[in-house]
Amino acid sequence: MNTTVHYDVLIMGAGLAGITVALSLPRHLKIALLCKADLNTCSSDLAQGGIAAVLDPKDHVSLHVQDTLVAGAGLCEPQQVEQILQAAPQAIDWLCAQGVPFSCEDEPKLHLTCEGGHTQRRIVHVADHTGHAVMVTLQQKLKQHTNITYLPEHSVEQLLGENGRCIGAKLRDVAQQSMTILAKHNVLATGGMGQLFQYTTNPTTATGDGVALAWQAGCRVANLEFIQFHPTALALQNANGFLISEALRGEGGILRDPKGRRFMPEYDARAELAPRDIVARAIANEMQQQQAAAMYLDMTQLPAAFIQQHFPAIYQHCLSLNLDICREQIPIAPAAHYACGGVVTNSMGQSDVVDLYAVGEVAYTGLHGANRLASNSLLECVVIGRRVAECIAHEAAWKMVPAYPQSSHLVLYPRQHVTDQAKFSLQLLQQQMSQHFGIQRDFVHMQQLYQQVLNWRQKFVQENKTVPHVIYTALLMLKSALQRTESRGTHFNRDCPYLNDVPQLSVIEGLVSRPLEQCCAI
């Protein structure tokens, strides 16, 4: 039985991006806010570091812009970057007004910390559990909004369209019951795609659904090859991708090899405070050269009281795993963390499809380029989330999304032998993506994996079964990478380790007119 329900606004995803949109909309609108699991299962809740904003009189937005452009390795959209970062103080004001208990230096002055890639202390935070504190606060606010219907444990199967507009979505709950929601305004806030990899800091729900859904609905996607690997995930048994915040390095943490040697100055003059892509590759390189299971983050030179005060959640979590970070070095290794690309939008979150918005990690706004600057992601969620709500509230005219040229060059090697007997499973896809689409890549292995995923897709079609979203998302990611004949930001290809002279986006046109059953390849 398929139930049909009508709403003014459908928000798909209840992390910081989705919940910001919901809370910022007028209360006369009837809103459906859905998520695949529950409100606590999202990347926003796991974010430790903080939110970047220029609040110190000694700092300036132009410096924040410059740091973002440097980290983005030539692929940021400067105008978008400036607009979003200029709105950062207002985003912090809004969060403060909601009651987020940010750490203070001297009440009411907020404490600012520093993270890799930033040249100033500009990270607003709640100790070392900023995301959790923000989400708990905003979830409490949700209870006061009777116009918002919360739908946990619902997955989006397909976006619905009519005359070039998005008019809702088909859903399915954990009991496999179907539901159709028809809505005038539709917002994708589905998060990232870390669960396409074997080792990730992302929650189990981060399988890239929004990218596949939007592409099938006709939206362009861009820069999907740029997957940021966080340099310092906790490398202990049962750690489950627990993140060791970049703020630890910002406060003086030192990266060492198993023999105690500090290695980052050999890779970059900024040492531990270099952008994430540089630090992650350095750690991965040291692990490979030394055949080591982990490198180490050393905090033991800092006072124990300082560590326990500034990083209480990390300290307690590590202690629960019998690791005292005040006395012992922290074993760390890179893990898939953040998708810098996504569904192409303009500065108001509008996509190529009318009445379909994208906000948060699922979207490509031009802010992150080839490598996201630390603590710019939660900021983007709030700034663009508030703009999306403003557009909907004022019935803003649909504006043209930036007309990026489609990528045309696709590197294809002779068809590689693929073991077709390999039956699709998410676990197998994760293993293959980590092996052939990790921190270091090459054309032959990416092409081989591309063919394997195509074969999986074809089998689903031949058996008249629904193709999982992860298959389309993986194909789009691999195609983006196969179009790039250079190494830039988080994308490092052994076959072409140098930068091209002219930075170019990897843009893939949306699937518009062909039924999916007739689309044999991407």
Catalytic residue set: 276
CA-based angle 368:200:296, to the nearest 5? 95
Cα 242 from Cα 316, distance rounded (Å): 12
- Spatial neighbors of 420 by CB under 8 A, at least 6 apart, are 455
Cα 416 from Cα 458, distance rounded (Å): 17
SS3 label, residue 280:
helix
CB 510 within 8 A of CB 356: no
SS3 label, residue 204:
coil
Cα 56 from Cα 63, distance rounded (Å): 12
SS3 label, residue 32:
strand
As given in the structure block, the two tokens for residue 237 are 């048994």
CB 349 within 8 A of CB 24: no
- Spatial neighbors of 414 by CB under 8 A, at least 6 apart, are none
31-34 vs 2-12, strand pairing mode: parallel
Q: 420, 486, 343, 377: which is closest to 131 by C-alpha?
A: 377
Q: 308, 338, 340: which is closest to 325 by C-alpha?
A: 308
CB 382 within 8 A of CB 250: no
Cα–Cα separations (whole angstroms), residue 198 to 40, 216, 235, 335, 367? 22, 26, 13, 9, 27
Cα 123 from Cα 308, distance rounded (Å): 19
Residue 79 one-letter amino acid: Q
104-106 vs 51-52, strand pairing mode: unpaired
Q: Which residue has the tokens 């992650």?
A: 280
